Chains A and B, each alone.
Chain A
């Protein structure tokens, strides 16, 4: 076995980064993997297995450069744990930092009116949205989607 190169550590680290990035670039587009990031947590678990193996290898006494191996292993392992922690924090904790919106309109209440410019700068009111036809028929309803913005 090649004792010089600690491949489980590298695989674990690459998997950790992959698990982190794929949520925001891939899994976020599918509700099943977005609502709860189980796919990414699964990859993290696999990454942790590799990291654990890698750490054991890095700290083994038969390394050609024991001190260097220990330092590199420690840095890579710590960095990986920080990435995993950051991910859990962003998705499960940070995502909950939202205002309670206790005063938001509730089911059965009248929706507050508004008059806002559309993408062409033309003012549009809720009443217009509720009355102007869709495909020639009066709309049954309007779905207001408030979003954070394209920043």
Chain B
């Protein structure tokens, strides 16, 4: 995470978890970046990432996805994995981050 901060990149995690659940997760895992709670899938819908009924109790959740957004608010890199088990690696993101001013 320090590497992201050094590169001037702020990681932000978004899920349907409540603030309380995020707080527990942060405490347990020691994360130092913001966790946002999108309980009503507002942002998740706006980014077209709703995975219908995939939550533990059949609720809608976000599918895994990563977006790098530059300081003007423009999307510079997107990763929409096709397999749940395959995720973006930090090095990939840091490589793209070098191009940002």
Give residues of chain B (1-28) contacting chain A, Cβ–Cβ below 8 Å: 4-5, 7-17, 19, 21-26
Total interface residues in chain B, CB < 8 Å: 68
Q: Interface of chain B, helix or strand or loop or mixed? A: mixed
Residue of A107, A109, A143 with highest tally of chain B CB at under 10 A = A143
Assembly CA distance A108 to B23 (angstroms): 33
Given the known A-B contacts A101-B49, A140-B71, are A129 and B12 also in contact in the complex, defined by CB atoms under 8 Å? Answer: yes
Q: What distance in Å separates the Cβ of A123 from its nearest Cβ neighbour in chain B?
A: 9
**Contact call B14/A104, Cβ cutoff below 8 A:** no
Assembly CA distance A36 to B9 (angstroms): 28
**Contact call A104/B100, Cβ cutoff below 8 A:** no
Assembly CA distance A114 to B81 (angstroms): 22
Which chain B residues lie closer than 8 Å to A60 at the CB level?
Answer: none
Determine the interface band of chain A, counting residues with CB < 8 A from chain B.
Answer: 35 or more
For residue B95, CB closer than 8 A to chain A, the reply is: no
Which chain B residues lie closer than 8 Å to A120 at the CB level?
Answer: 19, 23
Which chain B residues lie closer than 8 Å to A92 at the CB level?
Answer: 83
Which chain B residues lie closer than 8 Å to A111 at the CB level?
Answer: 67, 69, 73-75
Given the known A-B contacts A105-B75, A141-B70, are A112 and B46 also in contact in the complex, defined by CB atoms under 8 Å? Answer: yes
Enumerate chain B interface residues (CB-CB to A < 8 A). Answer: 4-5, 7-17, 19, 21-26, 34-38, 42-44, 46-52, 54-56, 61-71, 73-78, 80-87, 89, 93, 97, 100-101
11 of the cross-chain contacts (CB-CB < 8 Å) are: A96-B83, A98-B84, A107-B76, A109-B75, A119-B34, A129-B12, A138-B71, A143-B69, A144-B69, A146-B66, A149-B21
